[in-house]
Amino acid sequence: MEDGVVGIKVQPLTAEAFRPYGHMLENKQPLFPEVEPGEGRVALELLRLKRPVNPRRISMMATHFSYNQTFIPLRGTMALVVAPAPRNRGDGHEKYEIDYDRLAAFFVEPGQAAFIEKGVWHYAVALGHECEFVNITRKNPGEGTSRVDDELRMDAIPSMRPYVEVLDFRQRDRRVIELDV
């Protein structure tokens, strides 16, 4: 059986367009990174995403409910793919919904900051050769960086960070996301 393709046009990051998923940092008001009490601490890390073999095809996304997260590219552009938080959180990770009709993708350029709310599905991909970025995230005491062999591999997150839930929707739903850049 062939995978169903969900096409999404990547759009510029604007405060209004991004509002259903979080906030874009602007001069109007500060943003406050949060970690639920007793669930680790706010951490900043410098990461590098390498361009995958097929940067337009995505088959997994991550979500986490104990903290919000911010992506700030310093060099290179990333596409940040997002979907609303699952409404069925009580049903367990394997059954979390992904609202394919409300998926969105944004170009996040150097110097911009995309702040995603707790529970929002997300996936970042480098659009050029690589994207170096500041990641404002959660870390537990003693936990190291999210680097694997000097680069971030989104598919390695489940083994590195058990409080991040990653869903392979190609496997579960027989769907893939295709970005129109």
Show the tokens assigned to 51. Answer: 């361009």
Which domains does the chain possess? 4-180 (2.60.120.480)
Is residue 21 very low, low, confident or very high in pLDDT (cuts 50, 70, 90)? very high
DSSP code string of 64-113: -SSB-EEEEEEES-EEEEEEPPPS-GGG-GGG----GGG-EEEEE-TT--
pTM, whole model, 2 decimals? 0.90
Is residue 149 very low, low, confident or very high in pLDDT (cuts 50, 70, 90)? very low
Provide mean pLDDT across the span 83-101.
89
Reply yes or no on whether the pLDDT at 150 is more than 50: no
Q: 106-115 pLDDT, tens per residue?
A: 999 999 999 9
Provide mean pLDDT across the span 135-158.
67
Assess contact for 71 and 78: CB atoms under 8 A.
yes
